[in-house]
Structure 1
């Protein structure tokens, strides 16, 4: 279209509309009859602000009033209450970015980006200085090269019609000179091809837009990746079983997770998770380098698969049942973690390949009984403040053999009620879980029963006996200010070794979090707690330390980390885990683990 730019058609359209005024002025009676009553008085004195993502209104009438638009402006604009302190007139145009708005300009020289050498300079000068139907942006620019929206066109059209009404009502045909008429006629002839082309393009766009609106959703799959590398090892401590010093060898390990998120109607999600790694656990129940799960690091590889073997670690479909209920059906997953039940009350420690270094600093033991498997989870919002989460996971739901399957094998059923304050800076949750483990069954983590953290006794069972657990937890989170938050919990578990006896286990923890520490996006954390400790046991039950023997001392878990956010995709997290009296035995020297984790997300 030669030198005429799509974005500069403001000027032409106004001149073209003023051209209509020639006919209206020459035939005032006929013109008045042909003007709809709705356009007779369309000037609003309301100060308006464009909604987010929209453009400011460009045009004002001659009296500097913002032109009321015929199109429903509630989709674009919202009224701004007037205050006596504001120097802005209620006739001026305001933008979201500049409250010192600029309304009608009296001279084209007030528009800083208009130069006498511009091809449309004379036309703009006429519209500004003779007809008064041009308003600038708040920063005193016209921005003639930007795209014109339908709202702006409607505002400009209305401003021109208001001006036409003024001319007709006043009978001031002498304001229109012969030179202006010739200029308008010339412009009309020059722009005839462009108008025809524009009409065709608009018709085409409307057709394509209708198709897009009818087919605005399409099935898509998004890949989310996560790569974690770890350099770390034990710098102090013994194996609690052999009583020999643990090897102080540092290792370089990895974990990779790929998530394929697909949606079929825009509100549902099918998630397929693939993962593999070789991050070795430093300890387990009477196994591993430390001989205990105390201080167990997070994101350890499954002992049931070879190192770095890529497997399907999660398969879940989520859909909405009404506006307040989400249903999650999974063939391989962990319902409690899928729902984020622990993350909401421990947001600065819970995280995938992020935040806390240890498994225990991330969550109360009530969430850790069980393993990944098949099941269903439901999240329901009673209100903006009250949320209910329910989940049932069958650990070996894919196994048809005896003491396995969906309902005869190992399972965990969990429910949680979460309250959040209106400002979301305070949350408290009450959690209950019921779990059952047949004898001699294990999950992907290699455990049979217990939280897989804490003392060996808390994770032990009676050989040949099934085990039942009733778990209770109370958790809270409070964000004191944007740079400081505190969280804590207490957990109690009642174990029943069917046909043998009972036991009790307790845990507690408290953490301080420092968001944006030293730089925006980074995070610091300090955590102190007591991992699961067996506090009582039936006198006729022996879990490995003798009849009726429980953990005799108190062990503390002390942890600190600093997550340095390099950018949106890379974070480097050094941290340390210090365990006093490992396995709740003061005769064992303290163990210390140092960790340097690097996380790449894409």
Structure 2
């Protein structure tokens, strides 16, 4: 069949092209392959960007070279007969699969040219013998043409079925699954007193846990987004603890060892996040959180390589500054002005959940904890992004909370004293100041860091009128494409939140709390197994846990595997 085909060059290049359009059996194989790999390519030829334009010289095609095997045939068809069209971007795309629409357009152009030549009596270019040969070739290739026609018809049927049964025309499903193996090592469990002899055994257990999230993203205008997230997991907040135990009862004894992706629902599925974002104008972006609102998801947190809970740092503190945990799991409003400019400003108001399961949250005004009469955070951030190499943010948050187990100064990040310096149940107001920055030194090296200062005042309880000052800082280093494209070697070092001053620090009952300094050291390697699978081994080291050098150093080893789909 190949010999018969190439003998056509002795007849006429224009007939070779027509026969090629009508009879290339290799095209049938390619179309069949497309059926099994990507049915969406069927509509590509109908795209407005794929319209054809007539060319008069083969040199007008930027992707056709004299060394190409079909160059001479294409040159003849273009320059001698003028029946070949190209794409608007001056390409021919000779290796691209041919659709029925393109086949019809190409064949029609050549046949029109043949008719024109016949009408102008240019019989020396097209003879009756040529036309007879073309008819004979069509007959010889009738079986291949019938097969091709059947496969394309099947492709159209399958495409129609997909369109009729697709998930949604406006909604996209995005999932993430985390499976992690963790264990803790060291001497004794941390506590807050200065007597190392009464610390309980670390009593660690190797745990295997999971977290699965399904996000439904809907868009109605193309620039808006409605998010509904379903969440299930059994990763406890204190590594080494059984699912039914509290951090104080077992495990490490300190929240400084918390993982960045923890959360225990007993693997029961719950809707934990509902929000809607849209462009109010071209320069104003608005996001409304009905539940599960997080500041670190609404604004730039300046730690792009480690901010994600599933694909970032392994630890809770290593993800970003604790200032972005103010107003955690809240309902409210976030507005960003000039979000895509070098200088942008964000303001937010969130009323966080202040009890387990949202019982005392913004959704329950009957308990005097409504959207504007309970726990709340007022937040503002000024962002400078002069270029990709340097980004910096200045952040302020004013928070009010009831001082219960659900809400605290730093939302469980840092020492127990730093989170509730005035005691559980004390209504507390705080002013939080932060500065964060990212330096992209090269395509393979990035440095990020943050520092923060908090002043807090007790409004009720036995410590009413007392105040406290707290500091924290951290820095991270990311080596990108280390050992392979998409891999990241990371190191994070810093000091978790610590009470450093204020009247509560010098009170007799608290004089020995947070006297020393804890240090957070984390090393991890994010290995990109595929576009949808990442494996991250790492180790977390906490020196002087709970800012108490009477406590033994604690080591946390974790192997996290993240699947995205």
Scaled by the length of structure 2, what TM-score is found? 0.71
1:485 paired to 2:446: yes
Cα distance, 1:509 vs. partner?
Answer: 0.7
**1:507 paired residue number:** 472
**1:364 paired residue number:** 321
User: Is the CA contact (8 Å cut-off) linking 1:484 and 1:515 kept in structure 2?
Assistant: yes
**1:292 paired residue number:** 254
Residues 231-240 or 472-481, more deviating: 231-240
1:436 paired to 2:386: no
Q: Indicate how the Cα distance of structure 1 residues 589 and 398 shifts in structure 2: closer, same or farther if over 3 A, else same.
A: same
Q: Indicate how the Cα distance of structure 1 residues 190 and 489 shifts in structure 2: closer, same or farther if over 3 A, else same.
A: same
**1:228 paired residue number:** 179
Give the whole-Å Cα distance in 2 for the aligned partners of 1:107 and 1:12. Answer: 8
**2:129 paired residue number:** 179
Summarize deviations over 1:338-360 as a string: whole Å, max 9, x none. 32532xx1111111223212111
User: Is the CA contact (8 Å cut-off) linking 2:417 and 2:514 kept in structure 1?
Assistant: yes
User: Is the CA contact (8 Å cut-off) linking 1:370 and 1:449 kept in structure 2?
Assistant: no
Q: Which has the higher strand share?
A: 2
**1:31 paired residue number:** none
**1:388 paired residue number:** 345
Name the SS of the counterpart of 2:255 in structure 1: coil
Once superposed, what is the RMSD of the aligned Cα atoms?
4.8
Q: Indicate how the Cα distance of structure 1 residues 324 and 588 shifts in structure 2: closer, same or farther if over 3 A, else same.
A: same
Cα distance, 1:131 vs. partner?
Answer: 5.6
Name the SS of the counterpart of 2:372 in structure 1: helix
Cα distance, 1:584 vs. partner?
Answer: 1.9
Q: Indicate how the Cα distance of structure 1 residues 100 and 477 shifts in structure 2: closer, same or farther if over 3 A, else same.
A: farther
Give the whole-Å Cα distance in 2 for the aligned partners of 1:531 and 1:99. Answer: 62
**1:590 paired residue number:** 553
Q: Indicate how the Cα distance of structure 1 residues 484 and 264 shifts in structure 2: closer, same or farther if over 3 A, else same.
A: closer
Give the whole-Å Cα distance in 1 for the aligned partners of 2:107 and 2:307. Answer: 54
| 2:310 aligns with one of 348, 353, 356 | 353
Give the whole-Å Cα distance in 2 for the aligned partners of 1:183 and 1:588. Answer: 93
**2:458 paired residue number:** 497
Cα distance, 1:436 vs. partner?
Answer: 0.3
Give the whole-Å Cα distance in 1 for the aligned partners of 2:174 and 2:49. Answer: 37
Give the whole-Å Cα distance in 2 for the aligned partners of 1:341 and 1:299. Answer: 19
**1:561 paired residue number:** 524
1:537 paired to 2:488: no
Cα distance, 1:510 vs. partner?
Answer: 0.7
Larger radius of gyration: 1
Cα distance, 1:167 vs. partner?
Answer: 8.9
Residues 550-559 or 317-326, more deviating: 317-326
Cα distance, 1:176 vs. partner?
Answer: 4.6
**2:36 paired residue number:** none
**1:38 paired residue number:** none
Q: Indicate how the Cα distance of structure 1 residues 101 and 411 shifts in structure 2: closer, same or farther if over 3 A, else same.
A: farther
1:94 paired to 2:62: yes
**1:581 paired residue number:** 544
Cα distance, 1:425 vs. partner?
Answer: 3.5
1:378 paired to 2:320: no
Q: Indicate how the Cα distance of structure 1 residues 233 and 160 shifts in structure 2: closer, same or farther if over 3 A, else same.
A: same
**1:468 paired residue number:** 429
Cα distance, 1:300 vs. partner?
Answer: 2.3
Cα distance, 1:130 vs. partner?
Answer: 8.6
Cα distance, 1:261 vs. partner?
Answer: 0.7
Summarize deviations over 1:95-141 as a string: whole Å, max 9, x none. 2xx76664984469x9xxxxxxxxxxxxxxx97999686799x9x99
Paired positions, count: 490
1:319 paired to 2:282: no
Name the SS of the counterpart of 1:408 in structure 2: coil
Give the whole-Å Cα distance in 1 for the aligned partners of 2:170 and 2:321. Answer: 38
| 1:459 aligns with one of 409, 412, 419 | 419
Give the whole-Å Cα distance in 1 for the aligned partners of 2:104 and 2:284. Answer: 43
Summarize deviations over 1:6-55 as a string: whole Å, max 9, x none. xxxx959959xxxxxxxxxxxxxxxxxxxxxxxxxxxxxxxxxxxxx999
| 1:251 aligns with one of 206, 210, 221 | 206
User: Is the CA contact (8 Å cut-off) linking 1:275 and 1:312 kept in structure 2?
Assistant: no
User: Is the CA contact (8 Å cut-off) linking 1:167 and 1:173 kept in structure 2?
Assistant: yes
User: Is the CA contact (8 Å cut-off) linking 2:84 and 2:106 kept in structure 1?
Assistant: no
User: Is the CA contact (8 Å cut-off) linking 1:279 and 1:299 kept in structure 2?
Assistant: no
Q: Indicate how the Cα distance of structure 1 residues 100 and 401 shifts in structure 2: closer, same or farther if over 3 A, else same.
A: farther
User: Is the CA contact (8 Å cut-off) linking 2:211 and 2:235 kept in structure 1?
Assistant: no
**2:30 paired residue number:** none
Summarize deviations over 1:167-222 as a string: whole Å, max 9, x none. 988x7555554434666788999999x9xxx9xx99xx9xx99xx9xx99824352
Q: Indicate how the Cα distance of structure 1 residues 390 and 162 shifts in structure 2: closer, same or farther if over 3 A, else same.
A: farther
Give the whole-Å Cα distance in 2 for the aligned partners of 1:313 and 1:393. Answer: 15
User: Is the CA contact (8 Å cut-off) linking 1:526 and 1:559 kept in structure 2?
Assistant: yes
Name the SS of the counterpart of 2:256 in structure 1: coil
| 1:265 aligns with one of 220, 233, 244 | 220
Q: Which runs of 5+ in 2 are unaligned?
A: 1-13, 20-40, 353-360
Give the whole-Å Cα distance in 2 for the aligned partners of 1:256 and 1:541. Answer: 42
Residues 490-499 or 274-283, more deviating: 274-283
Name the SS of the counterpart of 1:270 in structure 2: strand
Give the whole-Å Cα distance in 1 for the aligned partners of 2:316 and 2:465. Answer: 31
Give the whole-Å Cα distance in 1 for the aligned partners of 2:106 and 2:289. Answer: 53
Q: Which runs of 5+ in 1 are unaligned?
A: 1-9, 16-52, 58-70, 79-88, 111-125
Name the SS of the counterpart of 1:294 in structure 2: helix
